[in-house]
C-alpha cells in the first residue's frame, strides 16, 4: 500500500523521513548490518566550527555522502567518522582580538591555560549550527564520536604516523621522513608561518603602490650584436622591467617577443648623465620618455660633443 498525497509539500516530507531515520536508527543499522571484514573507510574532511556553515558546505557534503551511500549499497561497512578542525592561526587571532591582547601578552595579562581555554571555546562556537544542518540535509556521519584535532588522542595519532614514516625504510635503506627546506610565507606579527588558506582569508590583501626595477642590460660588442645593432661604439642598453629585482643576479639571458616591435631611443643615463641608447618596446616608449623633453635632450647632447 502506498500513501496518497493530494498536495506535495517537500519540507513536511523531508521532516518525516528524517524523523523516521532517527527513530529507527537507519544510519546506525546501515553500518551494523555490514560485515566488519568488508569496510569502506571514510573520514570527514573536518570543517572548523568557529565559522557558520554555508551552502557550499551542503554541496560538498552531498558529494561525500553519495560515495558513502553508494558503497553501502554495494555491501560495504561504511563507518563515517565525523571530525572538527580546531588548529590554526585564525582561531588565535580571533581570540586575541576578543580578549584585546597580542601574542606578547600571553603569560602576562592572561595565563597560557586561560588563552588555550578561550581558543577551545571559540573554535567550537558554532558546533550546534553545524550539527543541525548536518542532520537537516540528511548527511550521514557519526557526530557522537568525532575526532577533534585539539584532543591529545588525535595529536598523538599524528605523532605515531610520523614515527611510522621515520622508521619505515625505502629500498635504498633511507627513511621516508626527511628534512627539507622550502620558502614559506611568514607573519612577523603572529610569529609563525602561514598556510595558503590563511593567506586567502578576508582582509589579508590590500592594494599598495610598490617600487619596481628597470634594469639596463649592456650590449656586448661581437659579431652577433654588430649584425643587429651596427658596429659603432655607442653605449647600447636593453631595458627590462621587473618586480623581482632579487632574481637579477641569476639572469643568464633576455627574451624578446616575435610579435613586439622594438625601437632604439637616444637619451642620457639616469645614473651617470652620459649619453646612452636604450632598446625597448615601441608601445612602451611613452611610459618612460616625455616628448616635451626631446629638445632639452638634444641640447644636452650637443653640449657634450
Look at residue 153 in the predicted model and tell me its pLDDT.
Answer: 93
| Structural domain boundaries in the chain | 10-199, 213-247+258-304
- Asked if 247 and 213 touch (Cβ cutoff 8 Å), the reply is no
Q: What is the pLDDT of residues 283-292, one digit of tens each?
A: 998 888 877 6
Query: Among 16-20, 64-68, 174-178, 235-239, which is the least confidently predicted range?
Result: 174-178
Bridge partner residues of 216 (DSSP): 239
In angstroms, what is the C-alpha Rg of the chain? 33
Q: How far does Cα 6 stand from its chain's mean position?
A: 51
Q: Which of 65-79, 80-94, 113-127 has the lowest mean pLDDT?
A: 80-94
Q: So what's the pLDDT on residue 295?
A: 59
- Model confidence, pTM: 0.61
Residue 32 CB coordination number (10 Å): 11
pLDDT interval class at 61 (50, 70, 90): very high
123 burial level (CB within 10 Å; 0-12, 13-18, 19+): buried
Cell of 179: 628534512
94-132 pLDDT, tens per residue? 899 999 998 889 999 999 999 999 998 899 889 999 999
**241-276 tens-digit pLDDT:** 988 888 888 888 888 899 999 998 888 888 888 888
**Residue 109: how many other CB atoms lie within 10 Å:** 13
pLDDT of 159 reads 95
Nearest to 41 by CA among 123, 118, 134, 142: 142
Residue 152 has pLDDT above 90, yes or no: yes
Would you place residue 74 in the very low, low, confident or very high pLDDT band (cuts 50, 70, 90)?
very high
Q: Say if residues 163 and 87 touch (Cβ distance below 8 Å).
A: no
Which of the listed ranges 73-87, 196-210, 221-235 does the model predict with the highest average pLDDT? 73-87
Tell me the C-alpha distance between 40 and 73, whole Å.
11
Name the percent of the chain lying above pLDDT 90: 41
Say if strands 213-218 and 142-148 run parallel, antiparallel, or are unpaired: unpaired
Q: What is the DSSP letter of 261?
A: P
User: What pLDDT score does 304 carry?
Assistant: 53
pLDDT digits (tens, 9 = 90+) for 195-218: 887 787 777 777 888 778 899 999
Reported as a pLDDT band with limits 50, 70 and 90, residue 192 is confident
What separation, in Å, do the N-terminal and C-terminal C-alpha atoms of the chain show? 108
CATH 3.60.21.10 at 10-199, yes or no: no
Given a contact cutoff of 8 angstroms between Cβ atoms, the answer to whether 38 and 76 are in contact is yes
List alpha helices for 76-222, DSSP H. 89-99, 112-123, 127-136, 152-167, 196-199
Amino acid at each position: 500500500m502506498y500513501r496518497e498525497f493530494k498536495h506535495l509539500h517537500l519540507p513536511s516530507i523531508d521532516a518525516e523521513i528524517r524523523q523516521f531515520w532517527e527513530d529507527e536508527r537507519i544510519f546506525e543499522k546501515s553500518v551494523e548490518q555490514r560485515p566488519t571484514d568488508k569496510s569502506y573507510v571514510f573520514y570527514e574532511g573536518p570543517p572548523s566550527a568557529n565559522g557558520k556553515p554555508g551552502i557550499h558546505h551542503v554541496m560538498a557534503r552531498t558529494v561525500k555522502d553519495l560515495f558513502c551511500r553508494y558503497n553501502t549499497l554495494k555491501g560495504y561497512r561504511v563507518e563515517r567518522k565525523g571530525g572538527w578542525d580546531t588548529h590554526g592561526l585564525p582561531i588565535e587571532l580571533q581570540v586575541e582580538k576578543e580578549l584585546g591582547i597580542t601574542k606578547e601578552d600571553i603569560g602576562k595579562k592572561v595565563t597560557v591555560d586561560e588563552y588555550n581555554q578561550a581558543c577551545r571555546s571559540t573554535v567550537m562556537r558554532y558546533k550546534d549550527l553545524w550539527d543541525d544542518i548536518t542532520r537537516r540535509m540528511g548527511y550521514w556521519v557519526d557526530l557522537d564520536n568525532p575526532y577533534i584535532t585539539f584532543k591529545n588522542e588525535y595529536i598523538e595519532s599524528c605523532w605515531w604516523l610520523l614515527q611510522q614514516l621515520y622508521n619505515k625504510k625505502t629500498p635504498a635503506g633511507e627513511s621516508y621522513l626527511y628534512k627539507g627546506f622550502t620558502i614559506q610565507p611568514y607573519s612577523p606579527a603572529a610569529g609563525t608561518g602561514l598556510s595558503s588558506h590563511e593567506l586567502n582569508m578576508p582582509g589579508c590583501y590590500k592594494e599598495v603602490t610598490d617600487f619596481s626595477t628597470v634594469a639596463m642590460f649592456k650590449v656586448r660588442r661581437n659579431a652577433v650584436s654588430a649584425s643587429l645593432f651596427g658596429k659603432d661604439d655607442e653605449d647600447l642598453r636593453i631595458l627590462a622591467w621587473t618586480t623581482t629585482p632579487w632574481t637579477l643576479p641569476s639572469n643568464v639571458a633576455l627574451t624578446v617577443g616575435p610579435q613586439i616591435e622594438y625601437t632604439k631611443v637616444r637619451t642620457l643615463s639616469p645614473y651617470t648623465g652620459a649619453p646612452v641608447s636604450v632598446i625597448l618596446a615601441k608601445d612602451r616608449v611613452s611610459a618612460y620618455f616625455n616628448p616635451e623633453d626631446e629638445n632639452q635632450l638634444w641640447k644636452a647632447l650637443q653640449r657634450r660633443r
